[in-house]
Amino acid sequence: MTKATRLVLFAAILAVFAATLVNAHPHFRKSVVAKLPDLEIKLEYITYPWNPSHLSDVKEGYIFNCGNATVEFSKPVTVGGKEIAPGRYLLRARAKDVDSWTFLLVPPPPDRSTPPDMTKAIELVTKTLTGRPVNDHLSLDISPGHGETEGKALFVLSWGDRQLEGVLAEFELPKK
């Protein structure tokens, strides 16, 4: 192979590599694990960029997949007097309107080709906050509650100028 041929081949490979970096998918998988007293909660999702034009599609009943989020509980969880069985669930949010949402825990379907049975969804007490500082990508976390949610673990979802806080577990605070 001549020097000129190697140079052209190297330039072509470099161009393909550079194009791959420039067009790289902006999403990546994230995992969050919270260890509460006697309970471990694992949350997994994909970061999506904020696109405010999608808000025009939101009507009552619209289901947001929250970055294809899943949550797994190591033990039964009590929320609002209801016991939720341990295991893996889909985390979704249902719109009442564009500024009011409810988190849902949905049992996963047996395979990817079957849609989830939304009639089995468990509603979580959820607070929707608007007018927040803009978060350019979907972000989910598990956070301790505060004020009226003291002693509870919360899902906190932020995207764009919206934030949802949903009660996902009640727990005993450690004694001081």
pLDDT tens digits, 39-66: 899 999 998 887 777 777 888 998 999 9
- Is residue 1 very low, low, confident or very high in pLDDT (cuts 50, 70, 90)? low
Q: What is the pLDDT of residue 151?
A: 84
Q: Is the pLDDT of residue 132 over 90?
A: no
Cα torsion 79, 168, 148, 97: sign? negative
Domain annotation covers residue 8: no
Is 137 among the domain residues?
A: yes
Structural domain includes residue 2: no
Q: Which domain holds residue 56?
A: 26-170
pLDDT score recorded for residue 2: 73
Confidence of residue 4 (pLDDT cuts 50, 70, 90): low
Asked, for residue 176, whether it belongs to a domain, the answer is no
Q: Please compute the mean of the pLDDT values over residues 107-114 and round it to a whole number.
A: 91
3-class SS of residue 21: helix
Query: What average pLDDT does the structure give for the chain?
Result: 83
Domain count, the chain: 1
Residue 59 lies in a domain: yes
Stated pTM of the model: 0.80
Q: Residue 22 — pLDDT band, cuts 50, 70, 90? A: very low
For the ranges 9-13, 15-19, 97-101, 168-172, the maximum mean pLDDT occurs at 97-101
Give phi and psi for 72, each to the nearest 5: -130, 130
The Cα–Cα gap between 166 and 60 comes to 19
* DSSP, res 15: H
Half-sphere exposure of 169 (CA within 13 A, CB side): 27
Between 172 and 153, the more confident residue is: 153
Residue 134 resides in a domain: yes
Is the residue at 17 inside a domain? no
Tens of pLDDT along 69-89? 999 999 998 877 888 999 999
Beta strands in 39-161 (DSSP E): 39-46, 63-64, 70-73, 77-79, 82-84, 87-97, 100-106, 122-123, 126-129, 135-144, 152-160
Facing residues of 33 across strands?
Answer: 42
Q: Is the pLDDT of residue 144 over 60?
A: yes
Whether the CB-CB separation of 122 and 100 falls below 8 Å is answered with no
Which residue has better confidence, 132 or 14?
132
**Mean per-residue pLDDT for 101-121?**
92
Inside any domain, residue 120: yes
Distance CA(122)–CA(12), nearest Å, equals 53
pLDDT(104) > 60:
yes
CA 32 to chain centre: 10
Region 100-106: mean pLDDT is: 93
